[in-house]
Structure 1
């Protein structure tokens, strides 16, 4: 089981054929359409679509951790202990990496603004660590270092500026949850009794920082793969207890399952995944839920291949982006159908409340998304 879990956690960094970019997506908003719940992108409903504008990050690190604060401000975290911060919409990025972290693999970052952020490093035993900054990366404090050799943490999420959880792969047959109540300054392992038993070979993918996500002040969801079936676990009490539901996204192999989740509220969710291996079929690579993750339905027209990251566009009930090593897709009907708009390789995507969306990948390239 350790070999299977280790393969599952490492697989996203082993394929040289996967190429990517760090993307700054500046989405211009327009007045809301009837029933949209807010403003949507200017191109939505016009038969137009997004287009990438390339940028250079000045690094060759691969970024799978991403936090969109606004149109102008975003954080990216990745390989070689690298953390970048932009405050000018991606025109320039500042290296704010924690000192001495060169050997660490950062796979997730959660930011509260342009000064406060929490980053997660993954790995066996003490390689799994959490750092926090309160001054825009000028200084960092290590707030957690895993001392259990059986534990391996994959991703994290916050419900508000104080309460958050980090997800670890199964230890003694159950996923492990690490919790904070002070903004990531201290952490504790939650009791395992509220967690359903993991399936044989089941684990989470540290591919996009989206294997655990939240919406609102109490609800969180976990994405899994590697077992006979892919599953989504839901907690309504900040990770203390969980329920579980199967999804139609194919699993049955250590390279397949649900890689990323996005919930625009506690009811409406999207799941993306498939088979990460180049050239492998990834039919049914996306699913949608309208009941908080209790049931999932395959997209009637899913992305054409594996996708690792997904995000709802702010102030839209129907529009979302999905990204992966073979390109990007757009849905304008709440995840039922997807259409490709780019063939470049990206790993993760995130959107800020003001409509600024960002995505990330390897080789430190930057791009801005503009409406055509």
Structure 2
């Protein structure tokens, strides 16, 4: 692989920082679930946002929906016999088709679809060997979608659908897999869309090096990441804007080390460091939020939730809850979900 070109942007102009600090948006955390009125016996591992609707999913076949931007939630019927499954990724399409992905070894990995908000389900994909392990997926639109899983003896594991998630086919990538290379099913964000053009980005881990795998206009490319790989280490979550890809992760094996986040400037083809994260181990989930003062970057793990305001040089903690996955809606705020049925909203302070 080509040697990394890393440009560490560890400082910002103090004059610019003080000039914009007064205009930055600060956030408050608001716990929605669990509550004494609606206890939830599920640990959430994924949350997604479409228009005013949020879908949260996780262990024990738990699926919850909100149609009012996260204020109130209701439980949806789960696929039959799914009590032992972990729904680690989900997405509601614009045609109201709900797509769920379960993660686990072999047949514990699967894709399920419902066109009536859980009243009926179809299982449309199943792990076909003992080594199969689905990690995350993303539907680019109502028809096209991609799914990433741990590599096997055939190489990198990528599935594609072109018919609205009804059927999935394995793709032969022109890239070799590293021994042990795979992904992390921690938040449903190890695969995401490539902003501003048709394509996808995938973050990998567990190999000798973590990599960013990019499908841009049908062409596949692997970019070595500055986040260390190895056992239980690498990229956990990816996000993008038109010219920037954000990767975050770290190491579960070296939980005493700081978690990591970097940005890749697409036009420059260079990595740039972000301010050091205050969390340890690894980032589980990430999200981007556009506010009146610019783009803020959000990260979470069992230690809590932090965000980096636009043009700032330090992270702000907004929650100490065990949060695995985040979703944000521009000009509104963010929602985090996690262990013991926790759902929180992060809204601009009044």
1:328 is the counterpart of 2:308: no
1:147 is the counterpart of 2:128: yes
Quick one: structure 1 residues 323 and 297, their matched pair in 2 at CA, closer, same or farther if it must change by over 3 Å? same
In the TM superposition, what whole-angstrom CA distance separates every residue of 1:207-236 from its partner, at most 9, and x where no partner exists?
Answer: 110111113552111111122322111111
TM-fit CA distance, 1:134: 1.1
Counterpart of 1:233 in structure 2 is 213
Paired residues, what number? Answer: 322
Note the 1:120-131 alignment, pairs <5 A. 120-131=101-112
RMSD between superposed Cα atoms in Å: 2.6
Note the 1:141-290 alignment, pairs <5 A. 141-172=122-153, 174-192=155-173, 194=174, 196-215=175-194, 216=196, 218-237=198-217, 241-252=219-230, 254-265=231-242, 267-276=243-252, 279-282=255-258, 285-290=260-265
Residues of 2 paired with 1:315 and 1:186: CA distance? 38
**Structure 1 runs of 4+ off > 6 angstroms?**
none
Residues of 1 paired with 2:287 and 2:202: CA distance? 15
Residues of 1 paired with 2:330 and 2:23: CA distance? 23
TM-fit CA distance, 1:142: 1.0
Q: What SS does structure 1 have at the residue aligned with 2:83?
A: coil
Equivalent in 31, 38, 46 of residue 65 of structure 1: 46
Counterpart of 2:279 in structure 1 is 304
Quick one: structure 1 residues 218 and 83, their matched pair in 2 at CA, closer, same or farther if it must change by over 3 Å? same
- C-alpha contact 1:68 1:357 (8 A) present in aligned 2: no
TM-fit CA distance, 1:79: 0.6
TM-fit CA distance, 1:62: 1.5
TM-score w.r.t. length of structure 1: 0.79
- C-alpha contact 1:60 1:362 (8 A) present in aligned 2: no
Counterpart of 1:115 in structure 2 is 96
- C-alpha contact 1:262 1:312 (8 A) present in aligned 2: yes
TM-fit CA distance, 1:204: 0.6
Residues of 1 paired with 2:21 and 2:159: CA distance? 39
In the TM superposition, what whole-angstrom CA distance separates every residue of 1:278-299 from its partner, at most 9, and x where no partner exists?
Answer: 852125x110112179432221
- C-alpha contact 1:232 1:293 (8 A) present in aligned 2: no
Q: What SS does structure 2 have at the residue aligned with 1:80?
A: helix
Q: What SS does structure 1 have at the residue aligned with 2:299?
A: strand
Q: What SS does structure 2 have at the residue aligned with 1:148?
A: coil
In the TM superposition, what whole-angstrom CA distance separates every residue of 1:104-149 from its partner, at most 9, and x where no partner exists?
Answer: 1111001114932100011222221101111122211111122233
Q: Gapped runs of 5+ residues in structure 2? A: 1-19
Residues of 2 paired with 1:362 and 1:182: CA distance? 34
TM-fit CA distance, 1:370: 2.1
Note the 1:36-47 alignment, pairs <5 A. 46-47=23-24
Residues of 1 paired with 2:74 and 2:322: CA distance? 20
Higher relative contact order (CA 8 A, sep 6+): 1
Quick one: structure 1 residues 95 and 352, their matched pair in 2 at CA, closer, same or farther if it must change by over 3 Å? same
TM-score w.r.t. length of structure 2: 0.83
Residues of 1 paired with 2:344 and 2:316: CA distance? 20
- C-alpha contact 2:24 2:310 (8 A) present in aligned 1: no
Q: Gapped runs of 5+ residues in structure 1? A: 1-42
